[in-house]
Structure 1
């Protein structure tokens, strides 16, 4: 199971450590934060103790209205479960009772000036991506007219050169050589880079180029949802099919099935143009339109 440290959360969100600073190595392994409301009134049947606990104005105000003994009891009941950390939002003060427990138990108590709603939205989004199952594959990732495309094929077949042509046509580059795939949901696959190769595209006979430096910030994006898997293959006689509608094929990554297309390479074929056509065709199918179906309907209408 993937995990990140509390220290990484501190660095990501510029959090202030109020207590437990010696235990920033504690690990967070579950996405999404939790606000301990029911737990403060004694209901622990479904307490997600392994999640980051966020204390907003509602929780802090409630604790401050309790007597000292009640407050210590309720805080102690939660702290004994040893969650990864507590984060107090909206820059709230008057927290000596929390600091005492967290220092004694070695649990980081952190603070942000952001509002509770905005901070939880950012925190949940970050944790979902950081803790998502992932795999790295050899290929190129591009965004063609808003549609994420994974380009695969044998080394030297022309994946990077094809990506370069797409970039010059106004599409966006995501990753070259190593594409990191992250599963964010049952049918949601995200493609991104591995940070080391960020913005770099390797072109044979030319070398490395920095896409942003050469073509501007709009030519690059950090990540994209993968919806098409396109494999560039060596041309073989008889590879092309004259069928109006090819049988659907899929490639599976991390349990997510992605529509798969093979494009055989031959001198003179506009591979980048074919990829644009495949991406636009996929989009139209999502809207319920099929060119092959419309064509067959016209034939049937003429026959009648």
Structure 2
């Protein structure tokens, strides 16, 4: 797995949690976005206790707990605190049971407190953890938003990806990332791309150097992240290769677990790539709305060819 993506201390920072005890454990990794509300455990049932999850104690759990006798209280809290528990959060600014603080010291389990209501806190924590723990990758390419369609432009170094992006930005579209696109998967079918912080809003153009799209074209010319819908592969024109003229054949490219439609566009001097890519994005939008322009175009073309053949005879 490599480095843990999230540790307990990240939550303390992000949600301004008050750390009450167990400071030695704040470097523990959080390995799942599932959050446990240990109600059954408070009642003494630990057979399926998910100790590796963040534990969240709300009003329900604590009011039940407060009705137990002293020995039961101690045993429950000791079982709740294990050497892999990333932390226990008490919501609604409630009092933290003495027994919990004692147990936390034995295994260095961080005990935190938040003023937020339990359910709200639970969903905010889950969302944060899901985005942090989502599978991710980085791809060499340029990501632009054209008419609301996220277009990832890929191709060998020097083929003109950044130049094309510059032209697209000039034509009123938005740059998300140049050169390196960080991509994370959300849900089963969504890929979100963004730029690494270091090179955000920058485009590198051979001969010009690095230009800042934000200062040159204004805030409307950039976006911080965008869902990727289509991949455009630029390749240098190869005379021996037969290119798909009408775009009827569907190529795909797999990123993480998702197959995206991919178009290959041959590059040769004098072709306005920006316009071609704009048309590809519009065409993608039409297809998504259920109008397959390529098929209609192909049918029209066949009619035209047939007509002209008949006129000749």
Aligned to 2:245: 242
How far did 1:107 drift? Answer: 0.6
Whether the 8 Å CA contact 2:167–2:274 is kept in 1: the answer is yes
Flag the 1:216–1:120 CA change in 2: closer, same or farther, 3 A. farther
SS of 1:60's partner is helix
2:151 is the counterpart of 1:149 = yes
Match of 1:181 among 172, 180, 183: 183
Q: C-alpha separation between the residues in 1 aligned to 2:68 and 2:279?
A: 65
Match of 1:160 among 156, 159, 162: 162
If the length of structure 2 is used for normalisation, what is the TM-score? 0.85
Number of residue-to-residue matches in the alignment:
302
How far did 1:240 drift? Answer: 4.2
Q: C-alpha separation between the residues in 1 aligned to 2:27 and 2:83?
A: 17
When the two chains are superposed, the root-mean-square deviation of aligned CA atoms in Å is: 2.7
Flag the 1:17–1:204 CA change in 2: closer, same or farther, 3 A. same
SS of 1:284's partner is helix
Q: C-alpha separation between the residues in 1 aligned to 2:66 and 2:188?
A: 42
Aligned to 1:271: 273
Deviations, residues 100-144 of structure 1 (Å, cap 9, x unaligned): 221222011122233333322222222122222222221112222
Flag the 1:202–1:106 CA change in 2: closer, same or farther, 3 A. same
Aligned to 2:95: 93
Q: C-alpha separation between the residues in 1 aligned to 2:173 and 2:47?
A: 51
Aligned to 1:119: 121
Whether the 8 Å CA contact 2:93–2:116 is kept in 1: the answer is yes
Q: C-alpha separation between the residues in 2 aligned to 1:213 and 1:65?
A: 63
Aligned to 2:310: none
Whether the 8 Å CA contact 2:26–2:86 is kept in 1: the answer is no
Residue range with higher mean Cα deviation, 98-107 or 162-171: 162-171
Aligned to 1:78: 80
Aligned to 1:226: 228
How far did 1:301 drift? Answer: 10
Deviations, residues 257-278 of structure 1 (Å, cap 9, x unaligned): 1111111123333322222222
How far did 1:26 drift? Answer: 0.9
Aligned to 2:198: 196
If the length of structure 1 is used for normalisation, what is the TM-score? 0.87
Computing the radius of gyration from Cα coordinates, the structure with the larger value is: 2
Q: Where does structure 1 lack aligned partners over 5 or more consecutive residues? A: none
Q: C-alpha separation between the residues in 1 aligned to 2:75 and 2:108?
A: 18
Whether the 8 Å CA contact 2:137–2:184 is kept in 1: the answer is yes
How far did 1:15 drift? Answer: 2.1
Flag the 1:32–1:169 CA change in 2: closer, same or farther, 3 A. farther
Whether the 8 Å CA contact 1:32–1:123 is kept in 2: the answer is no
Flag the 1:33–1:224 CA change in 2: closer, same or farther, 3 A. farther
Aligned to 1:254: 256
Residue range with higher mean Cα deviation, 263-272 or 13-22: 263-272
Aligned to 1:129: 131
Q: C-alpha separation between the residues in 1 aligned to 2:55 and 2:147?
A: 40
How far did 1:206 drift? Answer: 2.0
Q: C-alpha separation between the residues in 1 aligned to 2:223 and 2:85?
A: 35
Q: C-alpha separation between the residues in 2 aligned to 1:177 and 1:65?
A: 60
Q: C-alpha separation between the residues in 2 aligned to 1:240 and 1:226?
A: 24
Q: Where does structure 2 lack aligned partners over 5 or more consecutive residues? A: 307-313
How far did 1:197 drift? Answer: 1.9
